[in-house]
Amino acid sequence: MRTERIRSWWGWGWQDAAVGEAERKGLVGRLPPHWVADPMPVPRVDDLDLRPPRVRTPDSLAPICTAHPHVRVAHTYGKAYRDVIRALRGEFARAPDLVAFPETEEQIGRLLDWAGDTGTAVIPYGGGSSVVGGVEYRGDGHDAVLSLDLTRLDRVLEVDRTSRAALIQAGALGPVLESRLAPHGLTLRHFPQSFEFSTLGGWLATRAGGHFAMRHTHIDDFVEALRVISPSGLTQTRRLPSSGAGPSPDRLFLGSEGTLGVITEAWLRLQDRPVHKASRGISFGDFAAGLDAVRAIAQSGLDPSNCRLLDEAEAAINTGRADGRAVLVLGFESADHPVDPALARAVEIAEAHGGTADPKSTQDSVGGWRSAFLRMPYVRDALARSGAIVETFETACTWRTAAELCATVRTGVQAAITEVCGEPGIVTARVTHVYPDGVAPYFTVIARSRRGSEVQMWDQIKAAASDILDRLEASVTHHHAVGRDHRRWYDAQRPHEYCKVLRAAKSSLDPHGILNPGVLFD
Amino acid sequence: MRTERIRSWWGWGWQDAAVGEAERKGLVGRLPPHWVADPMPVPRVDDLDLRPPRVRTPDSLAPICTAHPHVRVAHTYGKAYRDVIRALRGEFARAPDLVAFPETEEQIGRLLDWAGDTGTAVIPYGGGSSVVGGVEYRGDGHDAVLSLDLTRLDRVLEVDRTSRAALIQAGALGPVLESRLAPHGLTLRHFPQSFEFSTLGGWLATRAGGHFAMRHTHIDDFVEALRVISPSGLTQTRRLPSSGAGPSPDRLFLGSEGTLGVITEAWLRLQDRPVHKASRGISFGDFAAGLDAVRAIAQSGLDPSNCRLLDEAEAAINTGRADGRAVLVLGFESADHPVDPALARAVEIAEAHGGTADPKSTQDSVGGWRSAFLRMPYVRDALARSGAIVETFETACTWRTAAELCATVRTGVQAAITEVCGEPGIVTARVTHVYPDGVAPYFTVIARSRRGSEVQMWDQIKAAASDILDRLEASVTHHHAVGRDHRRWYDAQRPHEYCKVLRAAKSSLDPHGILNPGVLFD
């Protein structure tokens, strides 16, 4: 299953899948012409000003470590808009000194011991798809920085077909683990947008969300057991379908973002592959009406696997629809039983809330959405190079707050864009994850950038957005983690006493403070 | 909603609901005659040898504290078999010195401050229905012991109908909170066997399980936000349907069993009241065949609200059935849509696994089961007084282990009973909570006791059972918490590094170590 395709060191995904010049011209043709700039050139890695490594590993670890410039720059940032811009600008002052590719837990243990002894910060690194500064060293208290790439730990170690679970190494990328489960007729069915370029360990460490609307959303709920190597020692939790024995140890490490230990293996709950599917599109006069319908469906107990509500602008962009209506796509899937009755009831609820159902099934447009969704980050890179700020953010809030939040975010972020960019931009909203008690709205921002100020401009817009989320007591993130970019608002969201607990846990598990410093807490 | 009924100080539930003499005679008639002893007498509280309180609260707290003997003895133990026996024996050497009934958080804060200053252990106390020694002081490092009864904090403070959630004070007993939600057309639908005599706070602190088979099982999944008072300060989490922002602070306190703080309020996710119901009984040649069917149903995505499998002996006891078959009762409920198709499909799966469905619905027998289930602890008390050890224990394990575990527990526990009691007893099994990846078997033990040795005898049998669970890597508890009785096996189950984290959390939140000492960790 090894592929010879090469990952982009500065932007999203595969190098060979990057937007080419012809496609780029087409894309920028959809922007206001005065926004469009000549594309930022992609520098040659050999031309980058990289500091020589400040440290070297013992000979015994040397074979799994590299200081190759291409590898170091590729491991410097995640894949946010601000990361792409900084990479294109050649800003690599804080590149890791070394990148390690351990193949065993024993090697991880030795690397952590060595790092503790030498004051080297260790950044656990899976697929590198963080969009929140989660894999980037920004501190100055360490003598060197090691990026710990876990992708060689990518095997499925054991499959328990009876319990429908598997023991999987944390470095497995999405397609790798799915390809290894497929012969058993099983699937994890966790499909974040980053699926191709993120690992199980990254999903676990960040409490990632898949693309299903309900139930099978956060990876947290799939975890039977974890295996974590901290500088202080190994944590292996017991494999249980459920337990009432004390606070869940798994839940401490889920979302710990590499600060408390390196997740090396996990037992995951799996699914049979779905064979029954049904899907339908429904349109609404506006997004707020759609939200009401989505709430009723989310509280019905029908549990759609897709319940994707696009506002007017997203509907126009994604479905080509020009009638100014918001669009809801409902989908149901099952490996066991037909889902048409569930779809019919959900459509009935939507219609009772003012929706107009498409006359026929939308199977095709679901596939179309998915392709466009997976292509989006490549498009983002092309637009980012050509004069546009293109970024997203998401949150979660109760239904009581949802409509006000969506309206306030649009207005407030447009105001921030106007202030920062000198003119309004585009702010769109969609909903892809819903709960009986609330929803996770997802926003896309497209605005005019000024060459050389892109990062600061986006940071100002993002700060305005995060301030609004904080004021309305929504979450600073639903499934993109805290990293370093969300710290200010996470610090406000997280109870103070709990921060003390996290610090105490850190002192116990990582006494030298080498693991991913700056993430989550100081 | 206040009732004038009086709680039993020595046994389960309401004093006026205890098994009377005529009923007791009927019950013991079902035991082997040579087991039956004259019932242990219930002592008069005034005759008990209670140490005078070793401490007094400041005048400002005096009005909410009492040293009344009846209250002190009623707050000394939980309601396990071993608790009932000890109470009847008049063993109250470790009764709390005082019992406090705070009505505000401010009073709780002052009580904790006072306890820290005076070296007084504080045992948070909800309904007092612990069956694992969770509310009982067994240490000797404190100058005095305060039982902190939270049942005066029993209001529903706010209802968010739109999000279907409510802010509820932790001291609300099950019927109290349900009666206050009913006018809003809402229900928490968390119905543990202890429902009448346990509180929301107790459920949260112990990760309690309700009686529904799937999804709506552990209280954990209903929690939107918590409010917890620790000696170090207040923790208030943000109300969110879901979040990916760092490790979940709620999950640290869920299952913390009063060791890290006193839960005072929680926002809980609620349900609409179900209007569609369907139920059916299915019998199997043996329990193992029934387990296979239950697994297939649990993995189907149908999510029955009841999926209760009784082994041959339980079926005979509970349904009067004498054909030696195991019985599965399947039930579905919904507030939104008819559930007959889901039931039909589940029955089809059961039949494909060798089950024989009853010709018609079992609505009546469901009600009958529930009454018998709620009556069972009273029956336990009567039998316990009359020469029988009667106790239960439960676990959770993967499907791969389930059949072996059930068989091994029966054999091993019967061997232990024979060794301890000089003759075999009765060991029955049932399943009430199921998961796609595993199951929570529940065992009942009935054996012959020797007057004066009841506690030691049960402890030996229970130790044999727990050793088996530990050896098979099952959980020491599925929904009865750890308390003090499960400590030895919980210590083996809980990862060592995680124990260090819990201790570090404790040092941070409860620096004087006053909260429920001896529970979970030392």
Of B245, B301, B494, the CB nearest to A249: B494
* Chain A environment of B239 (Cβ under 8 Å): 398, 473
Is A398 within 8 Å of A35 (Cβ atoms)?
Answer: no
A87/B383 Cα distance (integer angstroms): 75
* Chain B environment of A256 (Cβ under 8 Å): 246-247
3-state secondary structure of B221: helix
Distances (CA, A) of B146 to B8, B57, B143, B299, B312: 20, 10, 10, 47, 46
* Nearest C-alpha neighbor of A262 from the set A1, A515, A4: A515
Of A163, A206, A301, the CB nearest to B334: A301
> What is the sign, positive or negative, of the torsion defined by CA atoms of B383, B384, B389, B392?
positive
Q: Set out the domains of chain B in order of their start, with CATH numbers.
A: 156-272 (3.30.465.10), 274-371 (3.30.70.3450)
DSSP conformational letter for A200: H
**Chain B closest-CA separation from residue A62 CA (Å):** 29
Check CB contact under 8 Å for B256 and A247: yes
The values of phi and psi at residue A263, to 5°, are -70, 125
B480/B133 Cα distance (integer angstroms): 10
* Nearest C-alpha neighbor of B82 from the set B28, B138, B35: B138
B382/B140 Cα distance (integer angstroms): 33
pLDDT of residue B361: 65
Residue by residue, pLDDT tens for chain A (522 residues) are: 455 899 999 999 999 999 999 999 999 999 999 999 999 999 999 999 999 999 998 999 999 999 999 999 999 999 999 999 999 999 999 999 999 999 999 999 999 999 999 999 999 999 999 999 999 999 989 999 999 999 999 999 999 999 999 999 999 999 999 999 999 999 999 999 999 999 999 999 999 998 788 887 899 999 999 999 999 999 999 999 999 999 999 999 999 999 999 999 999 999 999 999 999 999 999 999 999 999 999 999 999 999 999 999 999 887 777 889 999 999 999 999 999 999 999 999 999 999 999 987 665 455 667 788 889 999 999 999 999 999 999 999 999 999 999 999 999 999 999 999 999 999 999 999 999 999 999 999 999 999 999 999 999 999 999 999 999 999 999 999 999 999 999 999 999 999 999 999 999 999 999 999 999 999
Residue by residue, pLDDT tens for chain B (522 residues) are: 455 899 999 999 999 999 999 999 999 999 999 999 999 999 999 999 999 999 998 999 999 999 999 999 999 999 999 999 999 999 999 999 999 999 999 999 999 999 999 999 999 999 999 999 999 999 989 999 999 999 999 999 999 999 999 999 999 999 999 999 999 999 999 999 999 999 999 999 999 998 788 887 899 999 999 999 999 999 999 999 999 999 999 999 999 999 999 999 999 999 999 999 999 999 999 999 999 999 999 999 999 999 999 999 999 887 777 789 999 999 999 999 999 999 999 999 999 999 999 987 665 455 667 788 889 999 999 999 999 999 999 999 999 999 999 999 999 999 999 999 999 999 999 999 999 999 999 999 999 999 999 999 999 999 999 999 999 999 999 999 999 999 999 999 999 999 999 999 999 999 999 999 999 999
State the CB neighbour count (10 A cutoff) for residue B140.
8
Of A242, A477, A509, the CB nearest to B501: A509
* Chain A environment of B396 (Cβ under 8 Å): 240-243
3-state secondary structure of A484: coil
Burial environment of residue B322 by CB neighbours within 10 A (0 to 12, 13 to 18, 19 or more): exposed
pLDDT of residue B111: 98
Residues in chain A: 522
Of B217, B341, B505, the CB nearest to A341: B341
* Nearest C-alpha neighbor of A207 from the set A417, A475, A447: A475
**Chain B closest-CA separation from residue A439 CA (Å):** 7
A395/A412 Cα distance (integer angstroms): 15
A22/A29 Cα distance (integer angstroms): 11
Percentage with pLDDT > 90 across chain B: 92
pLDDT of residue A115: 98
Please identify which residue in the block is written with the tokens 């919980």.
Answer: B490
Mutation target for B interface from A212, A243, A442, A478: give the one with most B CBs within 10 A: A243
**Chain B closest-CA separation from residue A222 CA (Å):** 10
Q: Structure tokens of B36?
A: 């039956």
Mutation target for B interface from A132, A162, A395, A509: give the one with most B CBs within 10 A: A162
* Chain A environment of B159 (Cβ under 8 Å): none
pLDDT of residue B316: 87
pLDDT of residue A364: 47
Strand partners, B435: B438
Is B357 within 8 Å of B350 (Cβ atoms)?
Answer: yes
pTM here is: 0.97
**Chain A closest-CA separation from residue B471 CA (Å):** 12
Strand partners, A437: none
Is B199 within 8 Å of B127 (Cβ atoms)?
Answer: yes
**Chain B closest-CA separation from residue A251 CA (Å):** 6
Q: For B411-446, how does the pLDDT look when each residue is reduced to its tens digit (9 = 90+)?
A: 999 999 999 999 999 999 999 999 999 999 999 999
Inter-chain CB pairs, A–B, below 8 Å: 295
Check CB contact under 8 Å for B163 and A335: no
Amino acid at A366: V
What ipTM does the predicted assembly reach?
0.96
Q: Which residues contact residue B65 at a Cβ distance below 8 angstroms, ignoring those fewer than 6 apart?
A: B57, B98, B99, B100, B101, B146
Q: Which residues contact residue B282 at a Cβ distance below 8 angstroms, ignoring those fewer than 6 apart?
A: B293, B327, B328, B329, B330, B347, B350, B351, B355, B356, B357, B358
The values of phi and psi at residue A516, to 5°, are 40, 55
A68/A71 Cα distance (integer angstroms): 5
* Nearest C-alpha neighbor of A164 from the set B441, B395, B295, B471: B295
A21/B362 Cα distance (integer angstroms): 69
Is A192 within 8 Å of A209 (Cβ atoms)?
Answer: yes
Check CB contact under 8 Å for A399 and B242: no
Of A206, A334, A490, the CB nearest to B301: A334
* Chain A environment of B490 (Cβ under 8 Å): 245-246
**Chain B closest-CA separation from residue A384 CA (Å):** 27
> What is the sign, positive or negative, of the torsion defined by CA atoms of B489, B491, B496, B501?
positive
DSSP conformational letter for A183: G
Q: For B248-271, how does the pLDDT look when each residue is reduced to its tens digit (9 = 90+)?
A: 999 999 999 999 999 999 999 999
A76/A105 Cα distance (integer angstroms): 23
Is A282 within 8 Å of A307 (Cβ atoms)?
Answer: no
What DSSP assignment string belongs to B393-453? EE--EEHHHHHHHHHHHHHHHHHHHHHHHSS--EEEEEEEEEETTEEEEEEEEEEE--TT-
3-state secondary structure of B139: coil
